[in-house]
Amino acid sequence: MSVGVWPQDVGIIAMEVYFPSQYVDQSELETFDGASAGKYTVGLGQARMGFCTDREDINSLCLTVVQRLVERNGLSYEEIGRLEVGTETIIDKSKSVKTVLMQLFDKSGNTNVEGVDTTNACYGGTAALFNAINWIESSSWDGRLAIVVAADIAVYATGSARPTGGAGAIAMLIGPNAALVIERGIRGTHMQHAYDFYKPDMLSEYPTVDGKLSIECYLNALDKCYSIFRKKADDKLCPVKNGHRFTLNSADAFLFHSPYCKLVQKSLARLLLNDFLSNPDKYPDLAAFKDVQLTNTYFDRDVEVAFMAASKAIFESKTLPYLWLANQVGNMYTPSLYGGLASFVARHTLTEIKEKRAVLFSYGSGLASSMFAFRASDRVDSVLSRLVDSCADLAQRLDSRQKVSPADFASAMKLREETHHLAPYIPSGSVDCLFPGTWYLVQVDDKHRRKYECVPLASN
């Protein structure tokens, strides 16, 4: 690369998605919990929830997804110069998940790999992604590729929050000449101190949650990020001098961090509310709301109903198709947003995805949030086909999972609760149900050192 020249088209080259091989049906969970019919499936918008037994932890999820990304893309570990993990599933207060992943690099002899873990609720994966992209666009870059891993196991105590759990890991291969190119210079970020969701008890996997405050923080952060994002996008994507401003009509997809799918639908409606308040004359049917203040509308039912109705067609075309993984796997926390991006890729053919633009909103409680955009390359088919192929088997893998009864699911959650951070410990969960190529926990010794093995791949 010539001095002073930016690497071209930096972004995501390929993706790998991992979700647990077992799930619980949300309608069956409604019955088991004694909840009203539709509370989880309609009220939250969730169909299935993936979960991990005591055989899987954050290290095993990340080992699995990184190895699959490397092997399925025909990479060598020598090609990787940066590896970052974004997660809030902490099993050690000092040792990063990234250091555990370095055992995958042992045979290659490559120990010259930058990056460690980033933690802030569901925002860690986004921070890791930005770090990797910034590394490639900096004087520190040595010409190699980066891998970003977003992974979490989201579990809640018995009660109303439990159906908003989930688990998964997504690994992204980052480099120049990418298939999904980040829109440079167009980020809106909002950071604020809040106790909306946090995990102060180091002996428990369960969070402390203020549900109402969390929704208010999420929607306020969305407003703030969209305002900053639009100002930058106006200049770079839709110059005002041409009479255009960035609106919901300016992108092909809007993807959100997805605690549950119904909140995403409300969030898309919230963006329309922002567009409306910026130019009420363009939306005469909503004129009755022209004097509302954003900060007074977080729980305004009239505003919510009106703007969800007005944005219904946009939601169904630009957001709903990409809630596929969120609906089928649940809230994966940090990888949740990138499950939406993987769904966006998987739901398009090679021809359809070219030059499509997706806007992403990342939110992590506490709080940290950003809005940014990717556009699909229009360079050559081989660049895009690598990305599309990397997400092509998602439907088959979702369908191959094993459904578990709510009673067995509850037992698995109880076992995780009772054995969390226990040492020494030998997991009792079955290995037979795991997908081939899945890493799993073998034991925790009396010094809390964890040992893992991998389910063999099926022979051809």
Question: What is the amino acid identity at position 277?
Answer: L
Dihedral of the alpha carbons of 437, 440, 442, 444, in degrees to the nearest 10: 150
Which sequence positions are flagged as catalytic? Answer: 88, 122, 257
Name every residue whose Cβ is closer than 8 Å to that of residue 408 and which is 6 or more positions away in sequence: none
Structure tokens at 217: 């923080």
Dihedrals phi, psi of 282, to nearest 5 degrees: -80, -10
Return the number of other C-beta atoms located less than 10 Å from residue 34's C-beta: 6
Tokens read off for 372: 């940014």
Name the token pair of 272: 């329309």
Is the dihedral angle over the CA atoms 418, 329, 168, 318 positive or is it negative?
Answer: negative
How are beta strands 11-18 and 439-444 bridged, if at all? unpaired
Residue 314 forms beta bridges with which residues?
A: none
Contact 407, 32 (CB under 8 A): yes
